[in-house]
Amino acid sequence: MAKRQLHLGAILEGVGADHHSWLDPDLPGNASIDINWYIEQARLAEAAKFDLIFIVDSPYITPDTAPHFLNRLEPLTLLSAVAASTSHIGLVGTLTTSYWEPYNVARQFASLDHISRGRAGWNVVTTGLEGAALNYGRDAHFEHGVRYARAREFVEVVQGLWDSYEDDAFPRDRASGTFLDKSKQHRLDHKGTHFSVAGPLALSRSRQGQPVIFQAGDSSEGRALGAAIAEGTFAASQDFESGSAYYADLKARAAALGRNPDHIIVMPGLVPTIAETDEEARAVAEAAQGALSIDKLLTQVGRFFNYHDFSKYELDAPFPDLSGVTLNSYKGGAERVIRIAAEEKLTLRQAAYRFGQWTSPFVGSPETVANEIERWFTGRAADGFNLRVTRPRDFALFREKVVPILQERGLFRSDYADDTLRGHLGLPVPQHRHAQPPVAIAAE
């Protein structure tokens, strides 16, 4: 087995998933709708040998939504344009299983996988926001459990469609006039609880076989889905302890399902604040936090609770009782807020500062940040990290100062050894379900 290697992703979130990042004068105001901004960030990440870039998504906004979400490019079109301007880096896009047709999703990700020559990944989400239903002809969003059942079947259908053609289905033999070997085209004929899809899909497999499946949900249903289908997860872990608990739980769940736990790559989010010294970095982080207005923070906390309006409560009273509020939104996040607020007896103001922004343990000099990354990696709280790169200065310092330390320590690649996303992540090419005879699987 090859030496375990750290994986790095870059979350390209334009002007930011919060209400203050766009104020950074180094960040172009139109970053979220400018394809050249994305191409430039992807090339920077590729030059630093990152495994992948990652595009978040959700299909619902209000006037109070954070700037990046208000006005942004759509993930599949965005990533296809970036594919044409990069050569190695993986391209992972978020797409909800609640409001798309599996046949269209299978086609678009398979097409991105061809366009990028085997670099596509799909972050499977079920949509946390109730209001999304209204954009898709429904009065109410699917109930939380139904969303996850649908997601599981949806992915099964999509992966089935991705195997519509065996890898040698197209002889394209001009002499005999044989373009397709018809025996190697397969219908799916799926008839399930939520979907009925005949196939075949009009697209062959790519160089990596199939796009890589990612997943991020942290509720118990989310973890169960991740353990079953994910080849990578974008965990929400905000400290080493919760990170290592999540890591152990997810890998154990995957093993219990008969899966190889090494084939599910755990990549928590990482928001770095880097400066020459630890003191300087801490001062920068504290100044950034002090600049946040309490109403923006309350709006952010509200997002876990389907945009619940927290401004109506007393700020310095205990965190309000939300027993009447639906948790059919970002359930994992909402439950965590309620649990910790109760355990630590937080006021609403304290909860707003705690949960209305991303608090990060990755604050310090390049050496300190590299140490913390190594601690998480060797301590099995992470197989890698997904870096939020909204602040241009921190992204530059990370690439130029932190990555070289990780490379010197032999934790992170100095050059690409492969040019597919599966190759970067050490994931096997999935065997074709109709291949005969079975291909021998390399020893692991």
Residues in contact with a second copy by CB under 8 A are: 15, 22-23, 25, 29-30, 33-35, 39, 59, 61, 63, 65, 67, 69-74, 76-78, 80-85, 99-101, 103-104, 107-108, 110-112, 114-115, 131, 134-137, 165, 170, 172, 174, 177, 179-180, 182, 185, 195-200, 202-204
**Min separation Cβ 398 and a second copy, Å:** 24
- For a second copy, which is the closer residue by CB, 356 or 384? 356
Q: Is 57 annotated as a binding residue?
A: yes
**Min separation Cβ 133 and a second copy, Å:** 9
* Residue 431 contacts residue 441 (beta carbons within 8 Å): yes
- For a second copy, which is the closer residue by CB, 77 or 311? 77
| Residue 10 bridge partners (DSSP) | 53, 387
- For a second copy, which is the closer residue by CB, 106 or 270? 106
Helix (H, G, I), strand (E, B) or coil at 113: helix
Helix (H, G, I), strand (E, B) or coil at 251: helix
Return the percent helix, strand and coil in the chain, to nearest 5. 40, 10, 45
CA 144 to chain centre: 19
**Min separation Cβ 117 and a second copy, Å:** 9
- For a second copy, which is the closer residue by CB, 69 or 395? 69
**Min separation Cβ 74 and a second copy, Å:** 4
* Residue 119 contacts residue 83 (beta carbons within 8 Å): yes
**Min separation Cβ 27 and a second copy, Å:** 10
Nearest CA to 213 out of 280, 162, 287, 170 is that of: 162
Q: Is 173 annotated as a binding residue?
A: no
- For a second copy, which is the closer residue by CB, 24 or 280? 24
Based on the number of CB atoms within 10 Å of its own CB, is 212 exposed (0-12), middle (13-18) or buried (19 or more)?
buried
Q: Is 94 annotated as a binding residue?
A: yes
**Min separation Cβ 383 and a second copy, Å:** 29
Phi-psi region of 49 (alpha: psi -120 to 50; beta: other; left: phi over 0): left
**Min separation Cβ 141 and a second copy, Å:** 13
DSSP 272: -
- For a second copy, which is the closer residue by CB, 104 or 414? 104
Helix (H, G, I), strand (E, B) or coil at 174: coil
Query: The tokens of 183 are what?
Result: 């025996």
Give the C-alpha separation, 79 to 88, whole Å.
13
- For a second copy, which is the closer residue by CB, 109 or 148? 109
Give the C-alpha separation, 328 to 426, whole Å.
35
Residues at the annotated binding site?
57, 94, 144, 148, 219
Annotated binding site for FMN: 57, 94, 144, 148, 219
